């Protein structure tokens, strides 16, 4: 591997057919694995495309989006075929926020589209309206290094942008090893308080 992902991208350019065969195999395994997770008791599934934003729009369209769509469809069909409960599916394509891609993710059979912190909430909500799909996200994880008062203010801005309808408040990516758990708690409390006030209006 490399920070520039040059080796992976070289493979995509030079060996597209082989890349598709590899990605198809991965997709097939992911589908079956997620089905087995539900069989074992999972009540919600999230699929991570952690390098989605590292691809060009054209590469994402060719080498990522079709397999994400296939995974969502395959999981739902597999759960039905196995008489297993239907569970909500979330897709998180880190960094894939450019014009058109969120809309295409929302057109898949995923129930929720997760967002990282690199898009304004009101812009995301306009592009994926509440009438179409649930959104999850997208507070910058580094906000948890701020004071509890500043965390509260950032939560206000985030929820005012997304609204509270068909929205799941979350960080825009995972926590860091040196985050103070009390600040994560402050984030949760702020979301509860701010959303409650908004829903009472």
Q: Does pLDDT of 1 surpass 70?
A: no
Q: Which of the four pLDDT bands, split at 50, 70 and 90, describes residue 201?
A: confident
pTM: 0.94
pLDDT of residue 2: 74
Measured CA distances, 48 to 13, 94, 133, 140, 188 (Å): 23, 8, 18, 17, 23
CA-wise closest residue to 118 among 134, 132, 102 = 102
Task: Summarize pLDDT for 112-139 with one digit per residue, the tens.
Answer: 999 999 999 999 999 999 999 999 999 9
* CA–CA separation, 152 and 187 (whole Å): 7
pLDDT of residue 44: 97
pLDDT of residue 4: 87
H or E element: which one contains 91?
Answer: strand 89-93
| In contact, 194 and 159? CB cutoff 8 Å | yes
Local structure of 96: helix, strand or coil: coil
| In contact, 87 and 38? CB cutoff 8 Å | yes
């Amino acid at each position: 591997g490399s920070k520039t992902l040059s080796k992976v991208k070289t493979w995509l350019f030079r060996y597209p057919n082989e890349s598709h065969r590899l990605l198809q195999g991965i997709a097939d395994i992911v589908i079956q694995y997620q089905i087995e997770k539900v069989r074992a008791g999972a009540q919600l599934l999230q699929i991570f495309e952690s390098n989605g934003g590292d691809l060009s729009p054209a590469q994402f369209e060719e080498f990522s989006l079709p397999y994400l769509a296939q995974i969502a469809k395959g999981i739902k069909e597999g759960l039905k075929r196995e008489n297993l409960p239907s569970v909500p599916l979330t897709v998180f394509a880190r960094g894939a926020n450019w014009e058109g891609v969120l809309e295409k993710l929302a057109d898949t059979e995923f129930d929720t589209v997760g967002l990282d912190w690199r898009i304004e909430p009101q812009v995301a909500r306009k592009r994926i309206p509440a009438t179409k799909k649930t959104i999850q996200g997208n507070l910058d994880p580094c906000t948890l290094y701020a004071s509890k008062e500043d965390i509260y203010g950032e939560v206000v801005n985030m929820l005012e942008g997304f609204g509270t309808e068909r929205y799941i408040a979350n960080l825009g990516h995972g926590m860091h090893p040196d985050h103070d758990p009390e600040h994560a708690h402050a984030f949760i409390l702020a979301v509860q308080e701010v959303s409650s006030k908004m829903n009472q209006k």
